A = this chain, B = another copy of it.
Amino acid sequence: MRPWEANIRQVVPYVPGDQPGGDRLIKLNTNENPYPPSPGAIKALRELETDRLRKYPDPAASVLVEALAGYYGVEADQVFVGVGSDDVIAMSFLTFFNSDKPVMFPDITYSFYKVWADLYRIPYETPALDGDFNIIPEDYEKENGGVIFPNPNAPTGIYMPLEQVEGIIKANQDVVVIVDEAYIDFAGRSALELIGRYENLLVVQTFSKSRSMAGMRIGFAIGNRRLIKALNDVKYSYNSYTMNLPSIVMGTESVRDKAYFKETTDKIIATRERAKKRLSGLGFTYPDSRANFIFASHPRVPAYKLFEALKQEQIYVRYFGGERLCDSLRISIGSDEEMEELFAFLERYLKDFS
């Protein structure tokens, strides 16, 4: 080892999922939206005055912040935006979790929480989900340095009723509680309802799933203005200009395009509910998902075997492996046509499988 290598931060890097290419493939592995971004957002990109690109973007992304504030009925100083919800949450770890006490999140959850805690050398504890993959709220009633969990949880899709979410926040008013609502638009009531009552609550959402804009990298957080100011202070200490102009203008128009948002979200929910019935009919079991994916296992077929067989057919789903996850595949909800191709293959495959 060279001397300069001694000062390099040691991390176990997160390995991003496959992004396979090709026209014929069916991509149900990264929870992307099967529908394109809203027409208003696309129009904004097409009509972007490209001479503006030579200038720095607005560091506060004010038009986007104001559109979000208007949409969610909060003040602009209660909204923080970042380069995807990963950027928003990573910055939240750095900003809010400066404690010697452990931050708490479920043992089975979004795998990045552990990576960020390691990156910033934040201690953490991971209470186990119960036998049906539910978060046990009582586990979070102990001294800690902060709490974060997704609702719905990943990769199970299980939605925790808002009363239970509130219970966790209520029990942890001395620390910041982050509810990661990447999938909430497919699920039910958001913890945003509680923002006014709990000043330690930060709710994080993303444009990558329900708003069909994973390729644009937009995430946001809403909370008490002191939380948002602290996040902005750290953000301005890291990189003042994180969100580029196309993201700002497309994000803004996407928020304004309410009808398209509702239409595509409703379509995905309907496809998901039909998919549940089809999967049940084929013998699969799964936690009751309220997200845009289903975490399904089959009593007869090892998940890894099915994963490989699907891949052969150019149908990509996500296999995690690991003790409690290795029996299941996470299947993103695609278009009805894509799901039909999936089911047609599963029917053939299961008939032949012995």
Chain A contact residues, CB within 8 Å of chain B: 2-9, 11-16, 19, 27, 30, 32-37, 42, 45-46, 48, 50-59, 83-84, 86-87, 90, 94-99, 115-116, 118-119, 145-146, 173-176, 199-200, 208, 212-217, 226, 230, 232-234, 236-247, 250
Residues of B within 8 A of A4 (CB): 96, 173-176, 199-200
Q: Which residues of the other chain, B, contact A174 by a CB distance below 8 angstroms?
A: 2-4
**Please, which residues of chain B bring their CB within 8 A of the CB of A240?**
14, 16, 86
* Contacts A213-B53, A215-B55, A241-B84; A7 near B116 (Cβ below 8 A): no
Are A146 and B7 also in contact (CB < 8 A) when A54-B212, A213-B53, A241-B217 are?
yes
Residues of B within 8 A of A96 (CB): 4, 7-9
Q: Would you give 5 A-B contacts (Cβ < 8 Å), ordered by A?
A: A37-B50, A55-B214, A56-B214, A57-B217, A83-B83
- Tell me which residues across on chain B come within 8 A of A6, comparing CB atoms: 99
Whether the pair A236, B7 counts as a contact (CB closer than 8 A) is: no
Let me know if B233 and A13 touch, CB within 8 A.
yes
Specify which chain B residues have a CB less than 8 angstroms from the CB of A19 in the assembled complex.
55-56, 58-59
Question: Contacts A4-B173, A175-B7, A247-B244; is A237 near B119 (CB within 8 Å)?
Answer: yes
Residue of B nearest to A32 (CB): B55
CB distance B9 to A119 under 8 Å?
no
Complex contact B116–A83 (CB within 8 A)? no
A2 to B172, CA, bound (A): 12
Cβ–Cβ contact B234 & A215, under 8 A: no
- Are the C-beta atoms of B32 and A232 separated by less than 8 Å? no
Contact call B233/A216, Cβ cutoff below 8 A:
no
A119 x B230 contact (CB < 8 A): no
> Which 7 pairs between the two chains have the least Cβ-Cβ distance?
A3-B174, A53-B215, A13-B236, A215-B245, A16-B240, A13-B233, A86-B239
Q: Which of A33, A42, A234, A246 has the most CB of B within 10 A?
A: A246
Bound-complex Cα distance A33 to B96 (A): 37
Would you call A212 and B37 a contact (CB within 8 A)? no
The listed residue (B7, B30, B59, B246) touching A244 by CB distance below 8 A is B246
When distances are taken between beta carbons in the complex, the residues of chain B under 8 Å from A86 are 238-241
Contacts of A214 in B (CB 8 A): 53-57, 241
- Asked if B54 and A33 sit within 8 Å, CB to CB, the answer is yes
Q: A16-B59, A56-B214 are in contact. Are A83 and B239 (CB under 8 A)?
A: yes
Q: How far is the CA of A212 from the CA of B52 in the complex (A)?
A: 10
Q: Nearest B residue to A89 by beta-carbon distance? A: B239
Task: Point out the residues of chain B lying under 8 angstroms from A35, CB to CB.
Answer: 54
Give the distance in Å from the alpha carbon of A145 to the alpha carbon of B3 in the complex: 11
Q: Which of A8, A115, A243 has the most CB of B within 10 A?
A: A8
Which partner residue on chain B sits nearest A85 by CB separation? B239
Q: How far is the CB of A217 from chain B (nearest CB, A)?
A: 4
Contacts of A14 in B (CB 8 A): 236-237, 240
| Whole-angstrom CA separation of A12 from B16 in the bound complex | 33
Q: Is the CB of B54 within 8 A of A213?
A: yes
Verify A115–B237 contact, CB threshold 8 A.
Answer: yes
CB-CB nearest in chain B for A14: B236
A53→B36 contact, CB < 8 A: yes
